[in-house]
Amino acid sequence: MAKLYFHYSTMNAGKSTLLLQAAHNYQERGMESYLLTAQFDNRAGDARIGSRIGIGREADTFSLSDDLFYKIKKRINDAPCACVFIDEAQFLSHEQVWQLARAVDDLKIPIMCYGLRVDFQGKLFPGSATLLALSDEMREIKTICHCGKKATMVVRQDENGVALTDGAQVQIGGNEAYVSLCRKHWREKVDK
Ligand SMILES: [Zn+2]
């Protein structure tokens, strides 16, 4: 039975690596999969899902204007496809997660979403909130804070290591760095 999966974590936990590994497992068994990632600039199409350990694969992109049910349906009609993988799933809209749920139910294809749970202010991303509500199966990808506890939060900090508490949920191309922390150390860092 096809299911909607949500693999969530904080930053730098190795989500893309796990996505690529899972897609590779399908490929080894002679099954093709459809890879999608968020479109951050104006170029639709040829994006790449890359991981920090150096592996990567070509991927299609999604933007907020896409109907993902139809996009997946078209891909399935064009060529055999055993599974859909979505990276940066936190950037899906509420409606798009429903489109994915419909694709799982009506097209009977498994969809594996990988994304961040909360932003640097400790708030759920819209895509992640809806995935937490609708997914058939969820799995936390764990990483650790500098203290050794599980990291569940992320801080956005400037080049001097000062935590930023304001700003847009998505910031592309700045000099900010993201650090994953446990809640206690995140609270200390952002003064909460
Ligand atoms: Zn800690």
37-84 confidence digits (pLDDT tens): 999 765 666 788 988 888 899 999 999 999 999 999 999 999 999 999
pLDDT of amino acid 169:
83
Residue 161 zone, left/alpha/beta (φ > 0; ψ -120 to 50; rest): left
Query: How far apart are the CA of 86 and the centre of ligand 1, in A?
Result: 29
Q: Please give the average per-residue pLDDT across 158-173, as a whole number.
A: 82
Query: How far apart are the CA of 67 and the centre of ligand 1, in A?
Result: 40
| Residue 187, token pair as written in the block | 């609270």
What is the CB-side half-sphere exposure of residue 111 using CA atoms within 13 A?
30
Percent of the chain with pLDDT over 70: 95
pLDDT of amino acid 52:
81
pLDDT of amino acid 8:
97
Of 1-5, 164-168, 181-185, which gets the smallest average pLDDT?
164-168
| Per-residue model confidence as pLDDT tens digits over 3-26 | 999 999 998 889 999 999 999 999
Which residues are tagged catalytic?
A: 88
Q: Distance between CA atoms of 74 and 55, rounded to whole angstroms?
A: 28
Calculate the average pLDDT of the chain: 93
Q: Inform me whether the pLDDT recorded for 173 exceeds 80.
A: no
Q: Which residues pair with 38 in a beta bridge?
A: 62
| Per-residue model confidence as pLDDT tens digits over 145-157 | 999 999 999 999 9
CA angle, corner 137, sides to 3 and 132, nearest 5?
110
Q: Inform me whether the pLDDT recorded for 187 exceeds 80.
A: yes
Q: Distance between CA atoms of 152 and 145, rounded to whole angstroms?
A: 8
Q: Inform me whether the pLDDT recorded for 167 exceeds 90.
A: no
Query: How far apart are the CA of 182 and the centre of ligand 1, in A?
Result: 4
Question: Domains in the chain, please, with CATH?
Answer: 4-141 (3.40.50.300)
Q: Distance between CA atoms of 20 and 151, rounded to whole angstroms?
A: 22
Q: Please give the average per-residue pLDDT across 107-118, as a whole number.
A: 97
Q: Distance between CA atoms of 120 and 93, rounded to whole angstroms?
A: 18
| Per-residue model confidence as pLDDT tens digits over 75-90 | 999 999 999 999 999 9
Query: How far apart are the CA of 178 and the centre of ligand 1, in A?
Result: 15
pLDDT of amino acid 12:
86
CB 158 within 8 A of CB 176: yes
pLDDT of amino acid 153:
96
Residue 75 zone, left/alpha/beta (φ > 0; ψ -120 to 50; rest): alpha
